[in-house]
């Protein structure tokens, strides 16, 4: 993305974008002062064990997003490095291994989620958690649903979230909507989130930017985050 071009410019017609702007949607929420990074579902099940075109990737894992995921992993790694350098919280909400009792409405829509082998649940090596970082297994889309995420964030006085991972239209969007409802400011680096559908990715980024969070490239996010103060390690619960 160059200049002021947005990921959705080729998908959302100009007149629709103008209507949103006239309605006052899409204003900047800002970055806050105490951010945490959510790395959502960056497991081999969502990218495959190597970069592959999407239709090849889903032969290995039906939940894979293929090459789009690997492109985002490089940007997610940049964010992870910054947050570790600054000693800010890095949290890994991730898909818990599915067992029989997880059959439900979600698996009825996406039966492939019940057929992922154990190695698919491993974290992608380039952005894998380090000892002491918070792992949050989840069974639904939102990183907040059925997890203690909000409790940890409040305990650390976190006021804003940088949300990376996948999918843009699913777990990322659901988590950002819940974060907004809980009054956390969110930043979604547009090239550090990914989806199996480029169209769905673009449309959901437009929706997120219009209503729930600030959407900028990773490079811009890092520029705005870097001047913020470091956390003390003891500020984050283990």
Active centre residues (catalytic): 171
Residue 187 has φ and ψ, to the nearest 5°, of: -120, 125
Sign of CA dihedral 177, 36, 194, 100: negative
- CB 171, CB 69: distance < 8 Å: no
SS3 184: coil
Burial class (CB in 10 A: 0-12, 13-18, 19+), 39: buried
How far, in Å, CA of 73 to CA of 52, rounded? Answer: 14
How far, in Å, CA of 124 to CA of 121, rounded? Answer: 9
Structure tokens at 186: 């969110």
Residue 93, CA distances (Å) to 69, 147, 226 in order: 16, 9, 24
How far, in Å, CA of 229 to CA of 63, rounded? Answer: 38
């Amino acid at each position: 993305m160059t200049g002021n071009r947005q990921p959705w410019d080729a998908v959302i017609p100009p007149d629709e974008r103008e209507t949103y702007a006239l309605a006052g949607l899409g204003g900047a929420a800002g970055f806050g002062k105490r951010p945490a990074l959510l790395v959502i579902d960056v497991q081999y099940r969502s990218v495959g064990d190597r970069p592959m075109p999407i239709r090849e990737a889903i032969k290995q894992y039906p939940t894979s997003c293929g090459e789009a995921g690997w492109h985002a992993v490089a940007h997610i790694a940049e964010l992870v490095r910054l947050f570790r350098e600054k000693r800010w919280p890095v949290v890994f909400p991730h898909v818990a291994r599915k067992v029989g009792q997880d059959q439900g409405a979600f698996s009825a829509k996406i039966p492939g989620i019940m057929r992922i082998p154990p190695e698919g649940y491993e974290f992608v090596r380039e952005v894998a958690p380090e000892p002491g970082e918070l792992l949050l297994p989840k069974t639904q889309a939102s990183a907040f649903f059925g997890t203690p995420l909000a409790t940890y964030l409040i305990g650390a006085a976190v006021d804003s979230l940088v949300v990376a991972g996948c999918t843009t239209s699913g777990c990322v969007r659901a988590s950002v909507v819940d974060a907004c409802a809980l009054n956390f400011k969110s930043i979604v680096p547009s090239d550090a989130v990914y989806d199996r559908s480029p169209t769905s990715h673009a449309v959901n980024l437009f929706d997120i930017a219009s209503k729930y969070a600030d959407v900028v490239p990773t490079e811009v996010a890092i520029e705005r985050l870097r001047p913020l103060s470091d956390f003390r390690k003891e500020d984050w619960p283990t």
